[in-house]
Amino acid sequence: MTGPLLQVRDLTLSLPDRSRAPLFGRPPLVDIVNGISLDLAVGQSLGIVGESGSGKTSLGRCLVRLYPPTSGTIRFGGTDITDASEAVMRPIRKDLQMIFQDPQSSLNPRRTVGQIVAQPVLALSVETDRRAALKRADAALDRAGLGHAFAARYPHELSGGQRQRVGIARAIATEPRLIVADEIVSGLDVSTQAQILALLNDLKQDMGLSLIFISHDLSVVRVLADQVMVMLGGRVVEEGAASAVFDHPRHAYTRELIDAVPLPVIDPEWLNAEQAGGGTKMAEIKGQTVLVTGTSRGIGKVFVDQLLAAGAAKVYAATRSGGGSHADNRVVPVKLDITSATDIAAAARDCADVTVLVNNAGINHNSKLLATDQAGAAAAEMETNYLGTLNMCRAFAPVITDNGGGAIVNMASILARVNLPLMGSLCASKAAVYSMTQGIRAELASQGVAVFAVLPGAVDTDMTKDFPPPKAAPADIVAEVLAGMQAGEADIYPGDMAKGVSGGLAADRPGVIAEMAGYV
Amino acid sequence: MSLILDIAGLRVSLRRGGHLVRDVSLQVATGQVHGLVGESGAGKTMIAKAVLGILPDAVRVSTGSIGFKGTDLLSLSPRRFRALLGREIAMIPQDPLTGLNPSRRIVAQMTDTLRHHLGQSRGEARGNALRLLQEVQIRDPEKVLDRYPHELSGGMRQRVLIAMAFATEPSLIIADEPTTALDVTVQKQILRLIRQMQERHGTAVLFVTHDLGVVAKICHQVTVLHTGQVVEQGSIDHVMSNAAAPFTRALMAATPRYDQPADALHPVPEAVHQTLRDAARTFDGRNP
């Protein structure tokens, strides 16, 4: 077989949110695991880290098909097991084992250790003869460093570390190709933990085992993982080789997690040091009062809906006309033309409870910089895109600070970093927005306001219908912005095009500029 | 710096024979955080329970003294001891959920202590409870007062318990693994808070933990325990940089670190455990 042992694409798990269930009817669904993709090669180990509620345990259970995924695909050893029936899964299960968090509750107290370890061997027909199965169990117990003398004992006679070794013996008894281990050392003493970690490392090397190791403890993950995935709110915020992620974390959330781990080293500054990450803090959506500009269509409209779904307490939906209505009573329509000083002052007065400002409104005249018939376009674009956004920030920064801090999100564009001559005038105005956002971020750094610049690629809206490259759906863009905010990414690059161009600019700047020039 | 807690030659024994704590001595002065470190069964929780007078029935203090501001706690009548507990000696428990009564609002649980120990009126106590919640930086303290424990996050519950521990301005706080149940980012906030409160109020803290990382960040003094015996004792600088005991050094080498690759990790050699178990056996032979 070539290709990865485990291949996961866009895996999503949604479960009913009973805390928000209506009196009658079904509770709304909430995404526990959201769009996860991963590849795991034979003999490789992947560490999944995250805090409680990050979705790491649910993801692990989806991977061994204890939970049925809502969408996406899981391929194991080349077979699509996403919706595989139990009959199809049975022969696969001997290759795909799981070790659970709590050895106490995952071992049957009325069976001997030998019976417990032999159980999957028989049930999955690795051996059909009972005696042969018990013999295999003995070998697995030896392998797990417990010794087959333990086969006659019962779980309650064992210490925590010994019980966890039984869990390991049970998982390796069927000689699997992949083991998913979920927080298996979290309740153990340091000296026992070190032994279990050493054992797993040996098994991995001797049996050519692939391993998915789930833990909240970054230090423990470092011991076992070749690759690391950092999860937050059901999504992956950072992934890569373990050494790269731990030594040079790119993401603010990863840095925060790493900085929070107390190393056994004296560092008088550690307790009082705020997280690293250049002053951009994470922004929660839940419970916030958000004002979004330009909500009559496109991205702005989608923003309103997704903010509501993410649990915003109130959303001021601003449009130039002030019209529009929404089925959700948390939405308050606001009349706001961001080029009007009077409108902005009135909005800052009327919406005094705002904690998050999303500056989405903008215009695009699709104008080249030297086109003689479009002299007014540059001025109009600067007036709305740059000055309008700046004036909104000026008016609402004190409002947000007064309300105890929050966030400002400015929609720039990937074209702020490279000019697309087809609409050179728009690009210049977006570059101004991007630069201004960085300045405001620095000015507000100490006041509890997180400032985000969003640099999307082409988005599929009316405004970009003449734009040639591939476009992303507004819903995907907004979802990535909200995830980026909650993860504390200062500059958010939603969509493949944005990430591609941003990566391209780092690797081959002249090449990207030349390609953009080709669109004239 | 005056001595607040002075444990001398403390021996905690099972009534049916055998010892759990073997002649442990340690001192905690005003404004100091003293870490009590060890693995499960090392006797750290037994020492904390002996100070709080809450040892299980099967266990008793057989010899030694627990001096608290010059008085031996073990010589106090149960009534005088109870008057001291909660007022002069408070505790922050491990599990913030079991530390709170699930059926009563936060305000009722906080004002109990203030009314009982300090004789405050209902209104006075509510005002002070609010001030305490503000001091531990809880958002919306007014609302939190009227909540039930299950309505708060783990970090918030631990903040409430810290506020309650400091409510009567005690001289000594026993913190029993107060951050083990929390996420790392919350743990850091709680450690910072305990340090701030303890410095501001000049409180002595006996901090029980199994985590050498936590010890390095919050303690001034450390006692490392194994099988109820002190294997290492001294300032945090000494223990972290010049540990003499093989067990302390082995424990450091067995602690995984995200900043070090896997091959830097060495399990504690069985011989190190065995030497200390033998020492415990020799001790028991001499002191039946």
Nearest chain B residue (CA) to A186: B180
Q: What is the pLDDT of residue B248?
A: 95
Is B195 in contact with A267 (Cβ distance < 8 A)?
Answer: no
Which chain A residues are Cβ-neighbours of B210 within 8 angstroms? Answer: 189-190
Say whether both A300 and A435 belong to one domain: yes
Residue span of the structural domain in which B203 resides: 3-88+168-286
Q: Which of A189, A192, A264 sits opposite B240 (nearest CB)?
A: A264
Phi, psi of A67 (to 5 degrees): -110, 135
Say whether both B42 and B122 belong to one domain: no
Say whether both B162 and B200 belong to one domain: no
Which chain B residues are Cβ-neighbours of A220 within 8 angstroms? Answer: 256
CA A296 vs. chain centroid, Å, equals 29
Evaluate whether residue A284 is within a structural domain. no
Say whether both B12 and B152 belong to one domain: no
Q: Hey, which residues does A450 pair with through a beta bridge?
A: A407
Evaluate whether residue A138 is within a structural domain. yes
Say whether both B83 and B185 belong to one domain: yes
Say whether both A380 and A502 belong to one domain: yes
Say whether both A210 and A159 belong to one domain: no
Which chain B residues are Cβ-neighbours of A165 within 8 angstroms? Answer: none
CATH number at residue A345: 3.40.50.720
Neighbours of A327 (CB within 10 A): 6
Out of A229, A255, A277, a domain closes at A277
Terminal-to-terminal C-alpha distance of chain A: 47
Q: Which of B39, B260, B266 sits opposite A189 (nearest CB)?
A: B39
Quote the number of domains for chain A: 3
Of A513, A485, A482, A91, which is closest to residue A305 (Cα–Cα)?
A482
Evaluate whether residue A507 is within a structural domain. yes
Residues A243 and A220: their CA atoms lie apart, in Å, by 13
Task: For helices B122-135 and B106-118, give the axis angle rounded to 10 degrees.
Answer: 110
Contact pairs from chain A to chain B, CB under 8 Å: 116
Which chain A residues are Cβ-neighbours of B248 within 8 angstroms? Answer: none
Q: Is the pLDDT of residue B182 over 90?
A: no
Tokens of A17: 């949110």
> Residue A235 contacts by C-beta under 8 Å, 6 or more apart in sequence?
A34, A35, A36, A55, A483, A487
* Pairing mode of beta strands B221-226, B33-37: parallel
Which chain A residues are Cβ-neighbours of B252 within 8 angstroms? Answer: 264
| Segment (H or E) for A248 | none
Is B217 in contact with A270 (Cβ distance < 8 A)?
Answer: yes
Is A220 in contact with B195 (Cβ distance < 8 A)?
Answer: no
Of B27, B20, B10, B183, which is closest to residue A51 (Cα–Cα)?
B183
- Environment class of residue B89 by beta-carbon count within 10 Å: exposed (0-12), middle (13-18) or buried (19+)? buried
Q: Nearest CA to CA, how far is A105 from chain B (Å)?
A: 19
Asked if A357 contacts A409 with a C-beta cutoff of 8 angstroms, the reply is: yes
Q: Which of A190, A223, A271 sits opposite B210 (nearest CB)?
A: A190
Q: What is the pLDDT of residue A17?
A: 78
Q: Nearest CA to CA, how far is A107 from chain B (Å)?
A: 22
Evaluate whether residue A345 is within a structural domain. yes
Evaluate whether residue B94 is within a structural domain. no
> Where is pLDDT greater, at B22 or A16?
B22
Four-residue CA torsion sign, A259, A264, A265, A267: positive
Is B216 in contact with A193 (Cβ distance < 8 A)?
Answer: no
Say whether both A303 and A366 belong to one domain: yes
Is A190 in contact with B268 (Cβ distance < 8 A)?
Answer: yes
Out of B167, B202, B217, a domain closes at B167
Say whether both B49 and B120 belong to one domain: no
Q: Hey, which residues does A289 pair with through a beta bridge?
A: A314
Those residues of chain A whose CB sits closer than 8 Å to some CB in chain B are 51-52, 160, 189-195, 197-198, 201, 216-224, 243, 246-247, 256-267, 270-272, 404
Q: How many residues does chain A have?
A: 520
Of A461, A499, A502, A495, which is closest to residue A478 (Cα–Cα)?
A495
Out of A253, A277, A301, a domain closes at A277
Residue span of the structural domain in which A129 resides: 103-175
Four-residue CA torsion sign, A47, A53, A59, A61: positive
Evaluate whether residue A282 is within a structural domain. no
Evaluate whether residue A283 is within a structural domain. no
Q: What is the pLDDT of residue A282?
A: 57
Q: Hey, which residues does A71 pair with through a beta bridge?
A: A12
Mean pLDDT in residue range B152-181: 90
pLDDT, averaged across chain B:
92
Which chain A residues are Cβ-neighbours of B180 within 8 angstroms? Answer: none
- Rounded to 5°, the CA angle A203-A205-A209 comes to 65
Half-sphere exposure of A339 (CA within 13 A, CB side): 10
Say whether both A144 and A15 belong to one domain: no
Q: Nearest CA to CA, how far is B229 from chain A (Å)?
A: 17
Q: What percent of chain B has pLDDT over 70?
A: 100
3-class DSSP assignment, residue B85: strand
Is A266 in contact with B236 (Cβ distance < 8 A)?
Answer: yes
Residues B72 and A262: their CA atoms lie apart, in Å, by 36
Evaluate whether residue B245 is within a structural domain. yes
Q: Nearest CA to CA, how far is B212 from chain A (Å)?
A: 5
Tokens of A363: 């215009």
Say whether both B157 and B272 belong to one domain: no
Evaluate whether residue B252 is within a structural domain. yes
pTM here? Answer: 0.71
Say whether both B213 and B249 belong to one domain: yes
| DSSP at A286 | T
Residues A222 and A243: their CA atoms lie apart, in Å, by 8
3-class DSSP assignment, residue B169: coil
The DSSP secondary structure of B92-156, one letter per residue, reads: E-S-TTTTS-TTS-HHHHHHHHHHHHH---HHHHHHHHHHHHHHTT-SSHHHHHTS-GGGS-HHH
* Pairing mode of beta strands B33-37, B19-29: unpaired
Q: Hey, which residues does B28 pair with through a beta bridge?
A: B5
Phi, psi of A395 (to 5 degrees): -75, -35
Evaluate whether residue B93 is within a structural domain. no
Say whether both A71 and A112 belong to one domain: no
Quote the number of domains for chain B: 2
Out of B109, B142, B167, a domain closes at B167
- Rounded to 5°, the CA angle B249-B250-B256 comes to 105
Tokens of B278: 């033998």
Q: Nearest CA to CA, how far is A330 from chain B (Å)?
A: 22
Evaluate whether residue B228 is within a structural domain. yes
Nearest chain A residue (CA) to B248: A191
Is A216 in contact with B184 (Cβ distance < 8 A)?
Answer: yes
Residue B130 pLDDT class (50, 70, 90 cuts): very high
Q: Could you say which residues of chain A have pLDDT below 50?
A: 1, 275-280
Say whether both A2 and A46 belong to one domain: yes
- Strand intervals (E) in B132-228: 172-176, 204-209, 221-226
Say whether both B279 and B184 belong to one domain: yes
Asked if B167 contacts B88 with a C-beta cutoff of 8 angstroms, the reply is: no
Query: Which candidate in A213, A222, A245 is best for mutational testing of the B interface (most B CBs within 10 A)?
Result: A222
Which chain A residues are Cβ-neighbours of B95 within 8 angstroms? Answer: none
CATH number at residue B31: 3.40.50.300
CA distances from A74 to A35, A36, A61, A166, B85 (A): 12, 10, 12, 28, 58
CATH number at residue A199: 3.40.50.300
Is A191 in contact with B39 (Cβ distance < 8 A)?
Answer: yes
Say whether both A377 and A311 belong to one domain: yes
Mean pLDDT in residue range B238-258: 93
> Where is pLDDT greater, at A449 or B77?
B77
Say whether both B15 and B140 belong to one domain: no
Tokens of B67: 């001096």
Residues B276 and B224: their CA atoms lie apart, in Å, by 12
